[in-house]
Structure 1
Amino acid sequence: MTSTGVTATDADGGLDLSAAPSAETPRGRRGHWAAVLWPGAAALVTCLVWTVLESTRLGIPAPFEDAAMLFRYADNLAAGWGIAWNAGQAPGVTDGATDLGFVLLLAPLTLLGLSTAAAAVVVNLAAVFGIGATFGVLNARLWRRSRALPIALAALVGGGPVDRYVLSGFSPPVLGLLLLGAFTLAALAPLAATARGATVGLVAAGAVAGLAGWWRPEAFAFGPLVVIFGMLLTAGARRRVFTLPLVGCVVVPFAAFVAGWIGFRIGYFGQLLPTSAVMKSGSLHPENILFSLQFYGSLLLPVIGALIAVALGRGRDRNWWVAGVVLATPLLWVNAALPDYFWDKIGVSVAPTIANVATVVVFVPVVVALAVVGRRDRSWLFPVALVLFSTSWIVIGTTLNWWGRMQWPLVPVLAALAASHVVDAWARTPRVTAEHPVRGRAVPKMVLAALACIGVVPFHLPAGSYFESPFQTSVSAALGAVDTSRVRIATTEAGLIPLAVSGAALDTYGHNDRAIAATQGSALASRLDEFRPNVLALHGLPPDPVSLADCTPERQRGVTKFTERWSEMVSEIYRSAQRQGLVLERLSETTPCETWSVWLAPDVDPQVRQAVDGLVMPGTDVPVGARGQGS
């Protein structure tokens, strides 16, 4: 019998999902709690193990540069200054807090005595646990299989790049929990025993989807999508028809959250889009779909491999090697985890091209095949969702960032969809017969292959990690140890360094400055003249007076690691330093033509000057004179 798109059969030990629940005993209630807590614990422990391993092996600090921007907003909000980059500044002047929900949550936690970095770690770990626990709820109410299924899913999701988000202070786990929660509520609503219960479930699904949009604005697009896929997954349960009033139960609370967000944005900040969206507005990256397919495909391959094996293997002995081949293919998609410059360094520049071709030639036909095979039992939902989510990032990337940490929150939803179809396909597979004698023997092999894949997913390779610059860490530590209330720092590194300064800061690239962002950097000169910094912390090509043997003018005009806009920004800051009388105090070079420098005004506080003099600069320290002349 099929009641939800997940099939239960007597031969397979399945249960009728529409059956009335039996009376609970204390032991039964403990079993229900265990069904939820064990998957949550599995996700949390897996994440913590990777967190400990990578924090000791790679030395990833918390927070990472972009996360530190959010922490500065949260600190100012907790101090009563509002959601502002600088104390006393109008919110609309900066407005770089893209993860608005994260800032609103961190601020009250800091009032309890936690630092923003510690609060972020606690919130993210709680969200990781919540994701695993939600898999447990899905298994208890929908899949009705062994507890090993949600535990394995929880370990898979907790074993991806999640530990790096936790270590670096980003918040994808929380958004992932919100989207998975909306999906789960929508999927379970049709299974409710009463029409009232179904209505409450749909209202909650719409509300959680709207809340996700407050966390990050792209969730206003993905929230409704995950709710739709959840509703479609169990659309046949109890023969309920999604009438217009039932659909309204989802739309009304979601629309209320959207309207509230728009009103808050315009009323508080004075504009709808955050500064980072203004900077990127209009850019089009059609290649995003390749990155997205590689990203989701690599992280979900254990589930995809199991789905292919049970959907196409039909219980024969080839199940194990079909799964093994599919589960080994993350090696084709390492481009999603390793940046291009990594391949250039080791002399294999063709690797990204191979990965992109492999994505199209191997992955897309597999997804299409799954969609065709599952056209009758709704297992087409997973491949359709995978392609739709990946394609959506082309549109979202025209305004918002589309990096892996932004895309990860959809991984738990995709994993839940794929697992639903694995359960359904497995239930439809014949048991041991003369024709299909080996279904049971294939299971251990598939499980071992899945576990092996979790260990070799390339997102745990060092080159795919977050690395903090020693310059940012050193400068922030030095300034954080002295009184910086009179410091006015302008910096290209608008994360850890401004977070360590209690005085005012100017983000010269514009992530946290509306005027610079809106003019694509043209307003930088006027903003510097208005801001009058007394400290500069810069990363870019060396200033003109400095002569470096390995950085000739010809080389500076050639290919460097800096974009044209970045170099123009740094040159404008150098000109402003000359106009305002700031002096080059420290300079170092890490690679040819890549320099890090600190400039000070003559009247800067002596303790700040002493802290800068004691800095341990990255790379090779270049001696500079009082007027910035290289020696």
Structure 2
Amino acid sequence: MPSKKLPLDLFVTIFLIAFTLFYAARYVDFSIPPFEDAAMLMRYAQHLAEGHGIVWNIGEPPVDGATDFLFMAASAALIKLGFTVGQSVRGIGFVSHLLTVLIVYWTNRRVNHANIPFSLLSGLYLAVGTGLSYVAAYFGTPFFALAAASTWTLGLLLIQKENPPFSLTLAFALSGLVTGLIRPEGVILASLMLLAVIVMRGWKNSISIIITFGVTFLLLGGAYFLWRWNYFGYPLPNPFYKKGDSGLHWDSFYNSLSNALRMCLPFVFVFILGFRSRETSTRTIAYLIPLLGFASAFILISDEMNFGARFQYTLVPLVLMSWTPFLSSVGRVGSSDFLDPYRDQSWLNQLSGRERGAYFVAGVALFASLVYYSSYQNCFLTYFQQTCDRPYERDGRYEMGKLLAEYRGKGYVIATTEAGLIPYYSGWTAIDTWGLNDQFIAHNGEITAEYLDKYKPHIIMFHDYYSPLVPPRLTDVNLSQRWFSMTIMLKTYAEENGYVLAAVFGDSPYDTNYFYVRPDFEDSKKLIGQISGFKDYYWFTTGKRAINYAEYDRRP
């Protein structure tokens, strides 16, 4: 009786929306500043909205350091309409998360024909997961997850329909293309979804789907690819040349699989159950292709900047949209009429009152345990996290960026390894010395003194694991590490060119932020005084006020 089922589904939809809003208001801390890495994309979005193009530094050539291309463009459009950068970034993320929760529920109900309890469980599992934590940290991860979930829904429909209409085939291809425009690895994910469709339908019945998908990516995707190559000067996003230049990254591979397993662990057993017969084995293999294939693809790049396993998060909604069919033939509990008030429930009458009560309590306990497990993943967003609702503490880089904003518009340059909060909030021209936002450094492999001489930065700031109390050990082993050798190069450059060591902030002498100031410009003395006497530099892993170890360097 579809006409009677719809009001109940709408009630559940309203409940999911209300529950997500309640969870966000009660358990997610939106008072935190952007996470260090998220601020990089915010800088690009702001520059694009202001009409400067996709640039890291205003007036310089374009650089594709914002790998979330379509998310950056959408954020810039909202900024152009009058929203602040923070409102734009978080607004897109929050709405995307909410829509993905609903897609997960409705795909299970209408495409997988799952019962209401399992569909509701899937929606709640996603609602309380790490998606809102990414929103709070200003990441666009939920936007990518929304596109991936939409593409997989269309792929599931293609699997079901014997003669799918062209409109559905085209929608699948276009949605896959959008997924790839949001993040480059979306192309890999969409292609793996296509392969899953082919496995389920067979090559012969997939020819039109393959052609439509191929033509869409070749024409529209190819046009975008040629445009970006011409616009940026290189075919791939700038961070790829830095993060993918050392061959295969096995640590990233293992971390990716571990992250995917941890976030989706309760449903792994259902996929194992899928191998119980030849018919279900085919479906299991097909569904695992985009899941395992996407998780394995991260062997191509280093794992840096993977806040809260955000690179693997998009697999969570895909798993939640894929698990219910494997229970469809496992007794009464897997059928679509289980606990459906509009279906015959005479089987319940065969149970005693005590049995019904026991089953109900056990089911509610299992349901709540799974939702709690998903919520508990918010406790593992960073290795230094102290509370489950707050992934990081007060950040001195944020406060320092606001201090330096007093000098915005004076043409000052900062060379820094911390290319997020300080460049964004200060508005200074910034050299990302690691190279994620600098084409020369990314393609050259490292920063050089000659490159620094082109800018003659007014401040050199870097993060490393030594201090005046614990000097760096210049051994061959240490110098072979690219980060260490980069900071030694910056330190040497600053000292050889007469820079003043204004501050070495840190929570311990083994983990610090160095600040060198060039002494020969108009505001140098004032800046040296402000930085050396800065009292609001809090260490982001602990929230404690940092110690300025440069004071020990000046003592006799």
TM-score interval for Structure 1 and Structure 2 normalised by the shorter chain: 0.7 to 0.9
Q: Higher mean Cα deviation, 145-154 or 404-413?
A: 145-154
- Which digits, 9 at most, give the CA deviation of each residue in 1:243-283, with x for residues without a partner? 52343233322333421331122111111111211012243
Question: Are 1:398 and 2:398 matched, yes or no?
Answer: no
Change (3 A) 1:492 1:30: same
Structure 2, gaps ≥5 residues long: 336-345, 386-390, 539-545
Structure 1 residue 226 displacement after superposition? 2.5
Find the partner of 2:438 among 513, 516, 528.
513
- Equivalent residue letter for 1:389: L
Residue equivalent to 1:412: 317
Check conservation: 1:541, 1:570, Cα contact below 8 A.
no
Check conservation: 1:525, 1:576, Cα contact below 8 A.
yes
- Equivalent residue letter for 1:586: A
Aligned equivalents of 1:147, 1:29: Cα separation in 2 = 11
Find the partner of 2:122 among 145, 153, 157.
153
Change (3 A) 1:85 1:423: same
Structure 1 residue 574 displacement after superposition? 1.8
- Equivalent residue letter for 1:202: T
- Which digits, 9 at most, give the CA deviation of each residue in 1:46-67, with x for residues without a partner? 4554314xx5xxx7x2311111
Check conservation: 1:588, 1:595, Cα contact below 8 A.
yes
Q: Higher mean Cα deviation, 215-224 or 397-406?
A: 397-406
- Which digits, 9 at most, give the CA deviation of each residue in 1:200-229, with x for residues without a partner? 111101101011111110110101222443
Aligned equivalents of 2:483, 2:273: Cα separation in 1 = 45
Change (3 A) 1:563 1:612: farther
Residue equivalent to 2:275: 372
State the aligned residue count: 522
Structure 1 residue 165 displacement after superposition? 0.8
Check conservation: 2:104, 2:320, Cα contact below 8 A.
no
Change (3 A) 1:553 1:412: closer
Check conservation: 1:277, 1:400, Cα contact below 8 A.
no
- Equivalent residue letter for 2:185: E
- Structure 1 segment 252-331 matched on structure 2, within 5 A: 252-279=215-242, 280-304=244-268, 307=270
Question: Are 1:102 and 2:29 matched, yes or no?
Answer: no
Question: Are 1:213 and 2:180 matched, yes or no?
Answer: yes
Aligned equivalents of 1:410, 1:525: Cα separation in 2 = 43
Aligned equivalents of 1:231, 1:42: Cα separation in 2 = 37
Change (3 A) 1:223 1:531: same
- Structure 1 segment 3-402 matched on structure 2, within 5 A: 34=11, 36-52=13-29, 61-91=32-62, 94-189=63-158, 198-229=165-196, 235=201, 242-279=205-242, 280-304=244-268, 307=270, 369-377=272-280, 381-382=283-284, 385-386=287-288, 389-399=291-301, 401=303
Change (3 A) 1:83 1:573: same
Residue equivalent to 2:400: 475
Residue equivalent to 1:425: 330
Aligned equivalents of 1:577, 1:171: Cα separation in 2 = 36
Find the partner of 2:547 among 610, 614, 620.
620
Aligned equivalents of 1:244, 1:143: Cα separation in 2 = 24
Aligned equivalents of 1:593, 1:432: Cα separation in 2 = 66
Check conservation: 1:46, 1:155, Cα contact below 8 A.
no
Aligned equivalents of 2:302, 2:549: Cα separation in 1 = 38
Residue equivalent to 1:537: 461
Aligned equivalents of 2:170, 2:513: Cα separation in 1 = 53
Residue equivalent to 1:580: 497
Structure 1 residue 82 displacement after superposition? 0.6
Structure 1 residue 173 displacement after superposition? 0.9
Structure 1 residue 517 displacement after superposition? 1.3
Check conservation: 1:175, 1:215, Cα contact below 8 A.
yes
Check conservation: 2:415, 2:433, Cα contact below 8 A.
yes
Check conservation: 1:96, 1:276, Cα contact below 8 A.
yes
Residue equivalent to 2:377: 459
- Which digits, 9 at most, give the CA deviation of each residue in 1:466-507, with x for residues without a partner? 436733123113223554543211111110000012231101
Change (3 A) 1:304 1:423: farther
- Structure 1 segment 594-613 matched on structure 2, within 5 A: 594-602=511-519, 603-605=521-523, 608-609=527-528, 611-613=530-532
Check conservation: 1:183, 1:230, Cα contact below 8 A.
no
Aligned equivalents of 1:530, 1:303: Cα separation in 2 = 55
Structure 1 residue 423 displacement after superposition? 3.8
Aligned equivalents of 1:411, 1:86: Cα separation in 2 = 36
SS in 2 for 1:408: coil
SS in 1 for 2:165: helix
- Which digits, 9 at most, give the CA deviation of each residue in 1:397-449, with x for residues without a partner? 32465842111112111111112323453558699599999799646524422
Aligned equivalents of 2:329, 2:97: Cα separation in 1 = 26
- Equivalent residue letter for 2:40: M
Q: What is the TM-score with the length of structure 2 in the denominator? A: 0.82
Change (3 A) 1:143 1:388: closer
Check conservation: 1:162, 1:173, Cα contact below 8 A.
yes
Aligned equivalents of 2:170, 2:357: Cα separation in 1 = 42
SS in 1 for 2:279: coil
SS in 1 for 2:28: helix
Aligned equivalents of 1:447, 1:552: Cα separation in 2 = 57
Structure 1 residue 90 displacement after superposition? 0.5
Structure 1 residue 191 displacement after superposition? 5.7
Aligned equivalents of 1:282, 1:588: Cα separation in 2 = 32
Aligned equivalents of 1:498, 1:538: Cα separation in 2 = 13
Aligned equivalents of 2:448, 2:128: Cα separation in 1 = 42
Q: What is the TM-score with the length of structure 1 in the denominator? A: 0.73
SS in 1 for 2:300: coil
Q: CA RMSD in A?
A: 3.6
SS in 1 for 2:129: coil
Check conservation: 1:482, 1:611, Cα contact below 8 A.
no
Change (3 A) 1:558 1:269: closer
Check conservation: 1:289, 1:390, Cα contact below 8 A.
no
Aligned equivalents of 1:590, 1:558: Cα separation in 2 = 27
Change (3 A) 1:406 1:453: same
Aligned equivalents of 1:447, 1:254: Cα separation in 2 = 45
SS in 2 for 1:283: coil
Aligned equivalents of 1:428, 1:241: Cα separation in 2 = 35
SS in 1 for 2:487: helix
Find the partner of 1:565 among 482, 489, 508.
482
Structure 1, gaps ≥5 residues long: 1-14, 16-21, 308-366
Residue equivalent to 1:450: 367
- Which digits, 9 at most, give the CA deviation of each residue in 1:3-43, with x for residues without a partner? xxxxxxxxxxxx8xxxxxx7x7xx98766655655445544
- Equivalent residue letter for 1:459: Q
Aligned equivalents of 2:471, 2:290: Cα separation in 1 = 48
Question: Are 1:502 and 2:427 matched, yes or no?
Answer: yes
Residue equivalent to 2:338: none
Structure 1 residue 140 displacement after superposition? 4.1
- Which digits, 9 at most, give the CA deviation of each residue in 1:318-376, with x for residues without a partner? xxxxxxxxxxxxxxxxxxxxxxxxxxxxxxxxxxxxxxxxxxxxxxxxx5x43421431
Check conservation: 1:50, 1:163, Cα contact below 8 A.
no
Aligned equivalents of 2:284, 2:26: Cα separation in 1 = 30
Check conservation: 2:65, 2:239, Cα contact below 8 A.
yes
